[in-house]
């Protein structure tokens, strides 16, 4: 017969584990649904037809801005080895012309061209400006919401805030899994299929990796 003190201690541990388990499950629930869904879409990416939507725009820089860019190019080439953000005047012009936020993006400068890459989840974009005549091109590609969610899954071009979310989600998922394992252990005496099922969950992917992945 289990001593009363041991039984009370076990009940306390079980209550604590259940509390941590449901809190961690609540924190990672939406993330788990998102990453599970996008795991399926990534696994069948070749079977999901995507029709990218491409938008192309052209314009010409004002003469004053064109001269400022040529002067900036000489400074960038001498001090920054051809890579530097867009100057404030150009960033303002891009914002007003095509609603582009160039802040925080490093551009490539060459003797005759300014090129700004603007990758984002689910698509891509770029700006190219010829420094001699000021002709500017802007192209934006949108690959759809499935590509957007897939890129969120991979953390591709998502920025530091989303990367922090992935880390927090991963920590919550680990806590959810570990507390679930400890709860299984505490109930295993009354549930004989507990460890065979846990073993199956380990054995199935292990055998697939060893025997069927080349």
**Residue ranges covered by each domain of the chain:** 4-48+146-211, 53-143
**Total-model pTM:** 0.82
Kindly report the number of other CB atoms within 10 A of residue 24's CB atom: 20
Q: Across-strand partners of 120?
A: 123
Phi, psi angles (nearest 5°) of residue 103:
-65, 135
Tokens 């449901």 locate to 22
pLDDT tens digit at each of 214 positions of the chain: 556 777 788 888 889 999 999 999 999 999 999 999 999 999 998 888 878 999 999 999 998 898 888 888 877 766 656 788 888 899 999 999 999 998 878 899 988 899 999 999 999 999 999 998 999 999 999 999 999 999 999 999 998 999 999 999 999 999 999 999 999 998 888 888 989 999 999 999 999 999 988 7
């Amino acid at each position: 017969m289990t001593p009363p003190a041991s039984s009370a201690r076990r009940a306390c541990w079980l209550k604590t584990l259940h509390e941590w388990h449901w809190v961690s499950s609540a924190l990672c629930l939406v993330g788990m649904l998102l990453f599970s869904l996008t795991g399926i879409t990534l696994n069948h990416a070749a079977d999901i037809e995507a029709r990218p939507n491409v938008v192309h725009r052209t314009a010409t820089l004002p003469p004053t801005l064109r001269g400022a860019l040529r002067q900036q190019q000489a400074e960038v080439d001498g001090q920054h080895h051809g890579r530097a953000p867009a100057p404030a005047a150009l960033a303002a012009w891009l914002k007003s012309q095509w609603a582009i936020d160039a802040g925080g993006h490093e551009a490539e400068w060459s003797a005759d061209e300014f090129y700004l890459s603007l990758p984002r989840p689910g698509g891509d974009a770029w700006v190219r400006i010829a420094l001699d005549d000021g002709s500017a091109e802007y192209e934006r590609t949108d690959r759809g919401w499935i590509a957007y969610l897939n890129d969120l899954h991979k953390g591709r071009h998502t920025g530091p805030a989303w990367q922090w979310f992935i880390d927090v989600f991963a920590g919550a998922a680990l806590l959810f899994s570990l507390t679930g394992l400890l709860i299984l252990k505490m109930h295993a005496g009354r549930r004989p299929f507990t460890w065979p099922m846990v073993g199956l969950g380990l054995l199935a992917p292990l055998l697939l990796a060893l025997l069927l992945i080349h």
